[in-house]
Amino acid sequence: MTQQSQDKHQQRQQKLKEKVDERIANAQDEKGLLQVITGNGKGKTTSGFGMVIRCLGHGMKAGVVQFIKGQWDNGERNLLANIGVPFAVMETGFTWETQNKEADTKAAQETWQAAKVMLSDPNIDLVLLDELTYMLSYDYLDIDDVIETLESRPKMQHVVVTGRGAHRRLTELADTVSEVRNVKHAFDSGIKAQLGFDY
């Protein structure tokens, strides 16, 4: 690299640094955040658990509510429930297996009550509501109730919601929304869900 291009590079980096520093200095607000992780690609639930673990690593308290995943052997629950993380799991299978709307609605409502307990506890710093989106697309839960509960949660409490097809009102309320896009997935090549990788 010539001296001239080295100088140019340095100038560009310096400008970039000033801009980033300014944005960091301007971002002064603090509040509990709502993040929605949606989309058809793999990585939503695991991302949510990444945040749970990040929290625990800081000595903070996290709680987990899982809608629809009860019947699978559950690596995250095996670990976290063992170390005292409050964990509520709805005891029905995946959505495409469910056939009894009344029973599913009842299970969803019960699980939502467990979520509400966490969402009113200021000692819980982060609540993961895994696969909550389907409870709204299937009308198992009332969107007004969900929005109202999220809005009135403790001021500093973070919430992560995962699941495909997030309700518009949920993404509107959220501070951060990420969409995981499916580029390809092993399942499409005939590979079954793998222990420790998929669940």
Chain residues that interact with Mg ion, rule: CB under 5 A: 44-45
Q: At what angle do helices 101-118 and 143-151 cross, to 10 degrees?
A: 10
Beta carbons of 51 and 126 less than 8 angstroms apart: yes
Q: Which of the stretches 25-33, 95-103, 113-121, 191-199 binds ligand ATP when contact is defined by CB under 6 A?
A: 191-199
The two tokens of residue 188 are 């499409």
The distance in angstroms from the start CA to the end CA of the chain is: 49
Strand order, beta sheet including 87-89: 87-89, 62-66, 126-130, 158-162, 34-38, 176-179
* Residue 94 a catalytic site member: yes
The rounded distance, in Å, linking the Cα atoms of 173 and 148 is: 10
Mask: binding to ligand ATP, 2-41, rule CB under 6 A, as x and -? --------------------------------------xx
Instruction: Give least dist CB 59 to Mg ion, A.
Output: 27
Which is catalytic among the residues 19, 91, 94, 172?
94
* Residue 40 a catalytic site member: yes
Q: Does residue 176 bind ligand ATP (CB under 6 A)?
A: no
Instruction: Give least dist CB 37 to ligand ATP, A.
Output: 8
**Nearer Cβ to Mg ion (125/130):** 130
Q: Which of 32, 33, 46, 93 binds ligand ATP (CB under 6 A)?
A: 46
Which does residue 158 bind out of Mg ion, ligand ATP, none, counting CB within 5 to 8 angstroms by kind? none
* Residue 131 a catalytic site member: yes
H or E element that contains 161: strand 158-162
Q: Does residue 77 bind ligand ATP (CB under 6 A)?
A: no
Where does the chain have alpha helices with state H?
A: 3-26, 44-57, 75-80, 101-118, 132-137, 143-151, 168-173
Catalytic positions: 40, 42, 44-46, 54, 94, 96, 131
